[in-house]
Amino acid sequence: MSKVLAQLLEELGSGRLRVVDLTQPLSPQTPLLPLPPQFNNTPAFKIWELSHYDERGPAWYWNGFETGEHTGTHFDAPIHWVSGKDLPDNSVDRISPRKFIGPACVIDISVEAARDPNYLLTPERIRRWEDEHGRIPVGAWVLLRTDWSKRKDPKDYINATENGPHTPGLTKESSALLAQERDVLGIGVETVGTDAGQAFTFDPPFPNHYLMHGSGKFGLASLCNLDQLPAAGAVVVAAPLKIVGGSGSPLRVFAVTP
Ligand code: MN
């Protein structure tokens, strides 16, 4: 075995490296992104029992399930957005698995988001992070810590009023900087989608989706436990299901961290 892999296993065994689960539980109660009613919305997760060590299957327990690709903690592929529809290898089944692993850069905007639920990450704030922790490397997952996953009541989590949801996100200048100048793998967020709650009113609408996926980058939504990661120094593994032609999928995301 390679020295590095042997050391990885040894440090996981000794606890010097820890695995942090960044995934929310997936159930019929999992909160969903609310789109205006003229659009199709993602279905809630649905699960039904096939057998439970009973006459339907005496020695085994198993379920069937049905889900939207963008339900719960999930991966957004470039084909998800119109700006990425013609890119090569843009669906989950065609993305190289090499791209499912990358270093995590955790930008903590939890204080700003607590003060203003519509707070948007600015390029200045990104550069301030880089002044402290170094330049965001090519192929990084940039994770936006907002502590939004600590909002356990779905009403507080979606935070909608009559004029739509109010949740933090990124300015389009930040998305452009990360996608084009830093060449990141993608953006991960604690909110229900990778754009701010009010991003349907922005120009272009949902600019983070537009710019990231138009540049062949990915998204991770509904993450949690970002407060357990260092600003830099962890590695994220985010491997979506291999749905043929899929635009995304629920997944188990975790980080390996000192
Ligand atoms: Mn999505």
Residue 66 alpha carbon to ligand 1 centre in Å: 16
The phi, psi pair for 93, rounded to 5°, reads -75, -20
**Residue 113 and residue 148 in contact, taking contact as beta carbons nearer than 8 Å:** yes
CA distances from 56 to 48, 61, 62, 64, 257 (A): 13, 9, 10, 13, 43
Interior angle at CA 70, CA 234 and CA 100, nearest 5? 30
Residue 59 alpha carbon to ligand 1 centre in Å: 37
Residue 70 alpha carbon to ligand 1 centre in Å: 4
Helix (H) or strand (E) holding 101: strand 101-108
Over residues 136-169, the pLDDT tens digits come to 999 999 999 999 999 999 999 999 999 999 999 9
Q: What is the pTM of this model?
A: 0.97
pLDDT at 23 over 90: yes
Residue 83 pLDDT level (bands cut at 50, 70, 90): very high
Residue 34 pLDDT level (bands cut at 50, 70, 90): confident
Q: What is the pLDDT of residue 35?
A: 85
With 0-12 CB in 10 A as exposed, 13-18 as middle and 19+ as buried, what is 62?
Answer: exposed
Is residue 80 part of the annotated active site? The answer reads yes
Residue 180's SS3 state is helix
Alpha-carbon gap, residue 102 to 185, rounded angstroms: 7
CA distances from 111 to 146, 163, 191, 194 (A): 8, 24, 15, 19
Residue 241 alpha carbon to ligand 1 centre in Å: 14
pLDDT at 187 over 90: yes
Over residues 209-255, the pLDDT tens digits come to 999 999 999 999 999 999 999 999 999 999 999 999 999 999 999 99
Q: What is the pLDDT of residue 37?
A: 83
Q: Which two tokens stand for residue 42?
A: 């993602």
Helix (H) or strand (E) holding 126: helix 123-133
Q: What is the pLDDT of residue 96?
A: 98
Q: Which two tokens stand for residue 68?
A: 């939207």
Residue 76 alpha carbon to ligand 1 centre in Å: 5
Residue 116 alpha carbon to ligand 1 centre in Å: 23
Pick from 89, 102, 87, 101: nearest CA to 138 = 102
DSSP 153: S
CA torsion 215-209-226-44 (nearest 10°) is -130
pLDDT at 10 over 90: yes
Helix then strand count (H, E) for the chain reads 6, 15
pLDDT at 118 over 90: yes
Determine which one of 80, 133, 209, 213 is catalytic: 80
